[in-house]
Amino acid sequence: MKNGEMKLLYEGKAKKIYESSLDEVIIYFKDDVTAFNGEKKDSIIGKGKINKKVTIFFFKMLEEKGIPTHMISDIDENSFLAKKVEIIPLEVIVRNYTAGSFCKRYGIEKGIKLEKPIVEYSLKNDDLGDPMICRNVVLSLRLVKENVLNKLEYYALKINNILSNFLEEKNIILVDYKLEFGISNNKVYLADEISPDTCRFWDKDTMESLDKDVYREDKGDLIDKYSEFVRRINI
Ligand code: UDP
């Protein structure tokens, strides 16, 4: 693939989106890594290809279990082909254990198992630092229709069951994660990525992070931990 010849539609912090045809895009996973809304950034060779590998593995698994995803096919080490969707401007966050901003917000310690999974929403807006937004505000601002919002929540919780059960067998805790969805022809698709950049994965015995917290908190070599995650899930 010659990226130089393709039209770049969008460049984010960790991915580039190229136009492939009228209704298809190429998602290219970069080696760049950022944290704290872009305040900390680096390029870590090999990160993009791990995240792409993990994403297509999980997207395939979810698609087989009835979650529509925008992925069409694998292309190469760093990219996959996807249906062009209009991204819903919400980050859908699911939490099973306390961690990250949730602990800060409520002044609680990390690692507490929640009574039941929580689905939260953030408004995708880098300038505002992706503020949390509740269902009522989403609906009042007409960001999405109620039936779509209900579907996001339904998919988010179904994905939670599928991924938590799969990871449990690998002795890994799915602590929390972020999902993005898109719409094409009025149908909702899971989009973006599911990777150690967008999830918290803890080893069940040691509670050691196998995700981006390694980078956020300078807890060791990111590629080592991401590779260990890949090994543990056998991909
Ligand atoms: N997350 C993400 N992108 C974001 C914000 C959060 O992928 O812009 C993921 C993050 O990796 C974690 C989960 O969503 O798995 C919950 O993150 P949290 O709200 O605790 O924020 P953080 O601690 O990452 O600032």
pLDDT digits (tens, 9 = 90+) for 66-86: 999 999 999 999 999 999 999
Fold classification of 3-83 (topology level): Phosphorylase Kinase; domain 1 (3.30.200)
Give the CA distances from residue 124 to residues 128, 142, 180, 220, in Å, rounded to whole numbers and listed in that order: 9, 15, 10, 29
Residue 121 has pLDDT above 60, yes or no: yes
Q: Do domains 3-83 and 86-221 have the same CATH topology?
A: no
Which residues' Cβ are closer than 6 Å to ligand 1?
A: 91, 93, 99-102, 130, 176-178, 198-200, 212
Q: Which atom of ligand 1 is nearest to the CA of 130?
A: 8
Spell out the domain ranges in the chain: 3-83, 86-221
| CATH number 3.40.50.920 given to 86-221 | no
- Report the nearest-CA residue for atom 13 of ligand 1: 177
Atom of ligand 1 nearest to the CA of 212: 11
**142 Cα: distance to centroid of ligand 1 (angstroms):** 24
Strands (E), 85-186: 86-87, 90-97, 113-123, 132-133, 172-184
CA–centroid distance, residue 21 to ligand 1 (Å): 32
What's the pLDDT score for residue 75? 98
Ligand 1 atom with the smallest distance to the CA of 176 is 15
Best substitution site from 58, 101, 160 to test ligand 1's pocket, by max atoms within 8 Å of Cβ? 101
Taking the whole predicted model, whether its pTM rises above 0.95 is answered as: yes
Angle of CA points 156, 79, 70, to nearest 5°: 35
Closest alpha carbon to 77 in 52, 102, 100: 52
Query: What's the whole-number mean pLDDT along residues 162-176?
Result: 98
How far apart (Å, rounded) are the C-alpha atoms in residues 235 and 230? 6
On average, the pLDDT of the chain sits at 97
Ligand 1 atom at minimal distance to the Cα of residue 175: 15
- pLDDT over 90 (residue 3): no
Å from CA of 2 to ligand 1 middle:
32
